[in-house]
Amino acid sequence: MADHSDLDVVTMGEAMVLLAARQRGLLRHARQFERYVAGAESNTAIGLARLGHAAGWIGRVGDDEFGACVEAEVRGAGVDVSQVVRDAEAPTGVFFKERRRPGHTRVHYYRSGSAASRLAPADVNSRYLRGAQYLHLTGITPALSASCREATQAAVRAAREAGVPVSVDPNVRRKLWPTMEEARAALFELIAGAELVLTSAEEACLLAETDDLEEAARTLRGEGPSVVVVKQGADGAFAIGARDGEHERAHVPAVDTQAVETIGAGDAFNAGFLSGQLRGWDLEASLRLGAVTGALATVVPGDVEGLPTWAEVQPYLSGESVADR
């Protein structure tokens, strides 16, 4: 495990236990479940660890069996969990996946009043952030509660004071916000404090209130980030930014795989893109690595089970045959 001062990326947010129904159909008829651990920020931290980076995760879990499960799984994946708080007064959140038919998954969340929703500014250790190359956050955390929003704001302030760039995935969850107006206000505040934004095409247009994707990306970049990345699913991904004062744009196509489960692909993409940036790569090369990690994460069930190692992405980056995979 890396020393805290050697962490490449620190993430902060909610992680829960996932129970996925083994058979297709309505959840009410399910009798057998497979247990996983998932959370947007912890997923990205695990993805970075698989790619050889030192990552840490800040979060709260219940002082219960599911909390122990979450902490053990994330630690076991090589992520530092020294900043995880065990909350004796609130449970670990749980969510269920319902597989109604091939290619269609419905998710049911039980997170109200969870330990993660009690994340607060006091849980943000500014010393832990010092020396990191990035702080990675998502828009899910500030949507969970007022204290979570304050914790997110505190983390951004601490990172900026320490000179640590902030990476943000808006991860718009409409059901978590009272109104879309409130969501935009909070997420634009978060984006304004970021150096890097990683968003889906749908979310970019939703936040910018336009159907023009290029305009949406420019609007988000106009809020302050140096780079905006837009994930387009089957259409690949593009990024806009600036290098040495010159405007830069790059695009890569999607990587063709036989997807089994697409939930978590965006978190995996984020890990790949951040890995490229940590290696000093340009936008196009970082996008390509993001596309590869995002695609490979979808070939098996679970949010993190398919996250590739550095060795596993090499054939895709070099153009070698991957028929033996």
CA 257 to chain centroid: 21
- CA atoms within 13 A of residue 74's CA, in its CB half-sphere: 36
Which amino acid appears at position 178 of this protein? Answer: P
Task: Compute φ and ψ for 22, nearest 5 degrees.
Answer: -80, -30
CA 172 to chain centroid: 12
Asked whether the beta carbons of 77 and 304 are under 8 A apart, the reply is yes
Which amino acid appears at position 44 of this protein? Answer: T
Residue 212 annotated among the catalytic residues of the structure: no
Catalytic residue among 80, 123, 267, 303: 267
User: With helix as H, strand as E and coil as C, how does 11-54 read?
Assistant: EECCCEEEEEECCCCCHHHCCCEEEEEECHHHHHHHHHHHCCCC
Helices (H) and strands (E) in the chain, counts: 11, 13
Residue 124 CA to residue 263 CA, distance in Å, equals: 28
Asked whether the beta carbons of 98 and 27 are under 8 A apart, the reply is yes
Per the document, the length of the chain is 325
Q: 195: which residues sit within 8 A by CB, 6+ positions away?
A: 165, 166, 167, 225, 226, 227
Residue 272 CA to residue 287 CA, distance in Å, equals: 8
Q: Is 141 left (phi over 0), alpha (psi -120 to 50) or beta?
A: alpha
Residue 313 CA to residue 52 CA, distance in Å, equals: 12
What residues are annotated to the active site? 267
